[in-house]
Amino acid sequence: MQFSWPGKGSLKSRLITLLLGCNTLLLLCLTLSFVCYHSLAFPPLAGEPRLLLFASFQLTLALLGVVGLAALLAKRIDGTISEPIRDLSRKMEIVSTSQDYRVRVERAGEDELAVLFACFNNMLAEISVRDERLALHSEELELEVAERTVELSEVNRQLEGSLESVREAMQSAQAANRAKSDFLAQMSHEIRTPMYGVLGMTELLLGTDLTKEQTRYVDTVRRSGEALLSIINNILDFSKIEAGRMELEQIPFDMHQLAADAVAICAEDAARKGLELTVELEPGLPRMFQGDPGRLRQVVVNLLGNAVKFTLKGSVRLRLALAEAPALVRFSVEDTGIGIAPEAQRRIFNQFTQGDESMTRKYGGTGLGLAIARQLTELMGGALELESEPGRGSRFSFTVRLQPHEEAPRPERCCVALRDKRVLLATDDEQTREGAMEQLLSWGVDLECAGDAPDAFCRIVTAPFDLAVLDYRLAGTDGIELAATIRTVPAGRSIRIMLLTERDEQAADPRLAELEATSFPRRQLRQEGLYRALVAALGMDDEERLAVGCCGAPPPPGPRQVLLVEDNVVNQEVGKGMLESLGCRVKVVEDGAAAVSEVRRNRYDVVFMDCQMPVLDGLEATRRIRAWEQDSGGRVPIIALTAYAMPGDRVACLEAGADDYLSKPFTCDQIAKAMDRQLNGRVATPGMVEEGSAPASLEVISHDKMSGALEMIRTLPGNRGVEILRKVVDLYLASTPALLQTMREAESGGDAEKLKAAAHSFKSSSANLGALRLAGVCMELESLGRAGSTQGALPLLHQVEEEYRLVRDALRGGPLC
Ligand code: ADP
């Protein structure tokens, strides 16, 4: 703000001028009044009325002049100051009421009021300019808003369009996914069906009279078919996982059984390579859980299969433990194989990837196994881990969170006839071993397994057995020749012998009677008759036989009546052949509708129902049969057959009313087992380990496969004794250094359990070869270990080393061979 002294024509100077004029007039009046007063009071003039009148007149004039001047001045002030201010206030009022900033106040000149008015006018002008600008701006804003709105609605429209296309894309992706899954299901069905034909027919063919060469060819077809099926299964599993269609089951299962099954599947390969394959169930691991046993077994078998494949010598060990109560289970598969290089360790969990990717790689495979195993364990809430050192071995481990399952109280076993009987099972066929082992162990027998004739023979001559179950078709020699050899040694004279036959002619072989041996059809291993046959073979009395009777159902009155519902002619042929080979009478129908009317018309012991069929599918047919039974009474067991393509198949079958479920391709054994479950009421496959007696470590297959009584081996029939003997000696020399080393370690580490196991193994191998002194010292060491001590083991160990040197030299020197 500026302060300035008012100039010439300023309001202030005019006011000062006016006031000065007023003062002058007043002064004049006062002077006149004074003069008048003195003139009147002046004695010479006193009494002069003319003069007095004149003075009064003058005074009045002066007063009138002053008043006139004051009025003039007031008028002048009003015109100069008040009127403009009033004008200003009027204009302000107009502005405030009408908001019209174009109003102006007029005032010429340069006085303060003119300045004030000019400022007022300027202010109004400013306001009005600002208002205009504001109006302009708001117009612009409006325009901009309108533009933006247009743009936004355009974007909105586009977004809606994109959303629509995303929705469409999603729908078509979902449709594609559905199509992919349907394709998978269809593919699975289409591929597995012919595979089922190939494998089933091969199995049937193997049961016919073939020359050795033909058997070999057919066996190769079977193995190749199985390998192809396993690759197909892997690819289908993998696609299923990729499509997010892998669903896990939640059913109760026996964990001990699962472990035993998985090991049994890999046992033959391990035996062929001379590997020790063991399973350890840690104490405290419950038996029953709820989860997906099929997928769990698939992971374990894959890891065990790899371990056996990539291990040239040593051992493969499966361990199961309860990682956290109640149902977090830890699995680990450990081997002493080739190991995996650190840079390959991460890579191998990817699909289609192998540890050795070079052109010269030695081991085949698709590289899918671990990728599937990893994804399955993740689906089961775990993670697959690996520790490995090249050249030393690998350990794959994972945990899975399962549901605890109440263990059903096991019925008091009344079948005591076989309990604790010492039985030797000699077979080189994996399925036979698996089937027989399962049954024998469930009856409480003390079982040993041998993979070939020399092994079986050695065991018999070095340890007492009540019964030898020999496969008629056995590597090294055939079962009947082995039986004949066994009978030639004192230890083999009292033993009971039972031969597992493949064909009726074998069962009718007159040599069986000469050798006082009985026989049992191999294909019926999983059926109830086996118990009866074993009891008979052991020559037990009637009372004991009675005990057998209460174990299962009464013997069937005749052949089982079976209805097979299957549309595919090859499958019909295979299924019929398998069922007939199990002694069943089979009626085949082609679709669900025919099955329903067939069940209404005739009585069947069991129905095998394919799920995918024309006219009426298996599930619907099952439902209709169940609905009809509601009114008519009775209930025929229905076993559903599917290609196991879609998750939830099993549930769907069971919900439709089926009692059991088989996925194609299946084997005779599986059919027999499924029938057994339905007809003899076996709810689950019997366990591997007797309750109460479950050891902390359960050795399923032991490979101390050396020979004893060298002379006996050498004279084995078929002129192959020498060859076998050489093999046996080689095996002995290859395996014993490790045992010796283990005994040393056990002694220095004070590990009695380890000492016992190694000494036992060393003892039987040595005894088999006739190294009885050495075996004797080993036995002392074993007894020490059994008593829980390693004290005093050192001198015995020195003695073992000394004896072993002698035995080794003797064997290498060849006088015995
Ligand atoms: P493949 O069918 O080729 O065996 P996997 O996915 O099962 O496929 O295994 C991938 C690779 O991992 C194998 O090729 C091998 O190099 C390596 N591997 C797996 N398990 C073992 C093991 N126990 N010891 C050594 N290498 C292993």
Q: Look at residue 557 in the predicted model and tell me its pLDDT.
A: 46
CA distance from start to end of the chain: 132
Q: Look at residue 50 in the predicted model and tell me its pLDDT.
A: 72
Q: Where are the beta strands (DSSP E) in 482-538?
A: 496-501, 517-521
Strand partners, 290: 252, 403
At residue 494, φ and ψ (nearest 5 deg) are -90, -10
Q: Where are the beta strands (DSSP E) in 48-174?
A: none
Cα separation, 471 vs 473, whole angstroms: 5
Tokens in use for 435?
């089937």
The pLDDT tens digits of the residues spanning 620-666 come to 999 999 988 887 778 899 998 876 555 566 677 878 888 888 877 67
Structure-token match 């829980």, residue found: 788
Q: Look at residue 12 in the predicted model and tell me its pLDDT.
A: 67
Q: Look at residue 247 in the predicted model and tell me its pLDDT.
A: 77
DSSP result, 361-376: -S----S-HHHHHHHH
Cα separation, 372 vs 370, whole angstroms: 5
Lowest-pLDDT choice from 155-169, 220-234, 280-294, 713-727? 713-727
Residue type, position 605, single letter: D
Strand partners, 404: 289
Q: Look at residue 690 in the predicted model and tell me its pLDDT.
A: 29
In terms of pLDDT, which residue wins out, 97 or 234?
Answer: 97
In terms of pLDDT, which residue wins out, 96 or 58?
Answer: 96
DSSP result, 3-30: -----TT-HHHHHHHHHHHHHHHHHHHH
Ligand 1 binding pocket includes 305 (Cβ within 6 Å): no
DSSP result, 789-804: --TTHHHHHHHHHHHH
* Strands ordered across the beta sheet of 276-281: 385-389, 393-401, 328-335, 315-324, 276-281, 697-698
Q: Look at residue 563 in the predicted model and tell me its pLDDT.
A: 94
The pLDDT tens digits of the residues spanning 189-202 come to 677 778 878 888 88
Mean pLDDT of 573-598: 86
The pLDDT tens digits of the residues spanning 461-497 come to 666 788 999 998 876 567 888 888 887 766 677 788 9
Ligand 1 binding pocket includes 423 (Cβ within 6 Å): no
* Cβ neighbours around 723 below 10 Å, total: 12
Instruction: Please give the mean pLDDT across all residues of the chain.
Output: 77
**302 Cα nearest atom in ligand 1:** 7
Tokens in use for 395?
């350990």
CA 349 to the chain's CA centroid: 14
In angstroms, what is the span from residue 306 Cα to ligand 1's centroid? 6
Ligand 1 binding pocket includes 370 (Cβ within 6 Å): yes
Q: Give the confidence band of 542 by pLDDT, cuts at 50, 70, 90.
A: very low
Lowest-pLDDT choice from 206-215, 390-399, 760-769? 760-769
The pLDDT tens digits of the residues spanning 326-381 come to 889 999 999 999 999 888 888 788 766 666 655 555 566 667 888 888 989 998 88
Residue type, position 482, single letter: L
Q: Look at residue 534 in the predicted model and tell me its pLDDT.
A: 85
* Cβ neighbours around 136 below 10 Å, total: 10
Ligand 1 binding pocket includes 365 (Cβ within 6 Å): yes
Does 455 score more than 60 pLDDT? yes
Q: Look at residue 48 in the predicted model and tell me its pLDDT.
A: 66
Q: Look at residue 706 in the predicted model and tell me its pLDDT.
A: 34
Q: Do residues 475 and 719 make contact, with C-beta atoms less than 8 angstroms apart?
A: no
The pLDDT tens digits of the residues spanning 14-23 come to 677 777 777 7
Does 409 score more than 60 pLDDT? no
- Whether omega before 554 lies within 30 degrees of 0, making that bond cis, reads no
Q: Look at residue 607 in the predicted model and tell me its pLDDT.
A: 94
3-state helix, strand, coil in the chain (%, to 5): 60, 10, 30
Tokens in use for 688?
């591997």
Mean pLDDT of 763-785: 74
Does 248 score more than 90 pLDDT? no
Cα separation, 257 vs 687, whole angstroms: 5
Cα separation, 784 vs 801, whole angstroms: 17
Q: Give the confidence band of 672 by pLDDT, cuts at 50, 70, 90.
A: confident
In terms of pLDDT, which residue wins out, 479 or 408?
Answer: 479
The pLDDT tens digits of the residues spanning 427-450 come to 888 778 887 887 787 777 778 888
In terms of pLDDT, which residue wins out, 245 or 551?
Answer: 245
Strand partners, 638: 607
Q: Are strands 660-663 and 606-610 parallel, antiparallel or unpaired?
A: unpaired
**363 Cα nearest atom in ligand 1:** 14
Cα separation, 486 vs 490, whole angstroms: 8
Q: Look at residue 713 in the predicted model and tell me its pLDDT.
A: 52
- Whether omega before 293 lies within 30 degrees of 0, making that bond cis, reads no
Ligand 1 binding pocket includes 306 (Cβ within 6 Å): yes
**Inter-axis angle of helices 618-632 and 592-601, to 10 degrees?**
20
Q: Do residues 195 and 570 make contact, with C-beta atoms less than 8 angstroms apart?
A: no
Q: Give the confidence band of 709 by pLDDT, cuts at 50, 70, 90.
A: very low
Ligand 1 binding pocket includes 582 (Cβ within 6 Å): no
Which of 272-281, 604-613, 627-636 is modeled with the greatest confidence? 604-613
Q: Whose CA is nearest to atom 23 of ligand 1?
A: 307
Q: Give the confidence band of 580 by pLDDT, cuts at 50, 70, 90.
A: confident
Cα separation, 503 vs 497, whole angstroms: 18
Q: Look at residue 447 in the predicted model and tell me its pLDDT.
A: 82
Mean pLDDT of 745-764: 84
In angstroms, what is the span from residue 377 Cα to ligand 1's centroid? 17
Cα separation, 675 vs 627, whole angstroms: 23
Q: Give the confidence band of 400 by pLDDT, cuts at 50, 70, 90.
A: very high
Q: Look at residue 195 in the predicted model and tell me its pLDDT.
A: 82
Sign of the C-alpha dihedral computed for residues 370, 372, 376 and 382 taken in this order:
positive
Q: Do residues 466 and 496 make contact, with C-beta atoms less than 8 angstroms apart?
A: yes
Which of 18-27, 147-156, 679-688, 702-711 is modeled with the greatest confidence? 147-156
Cα separation, 474 vs 476, whole angstroms: 6
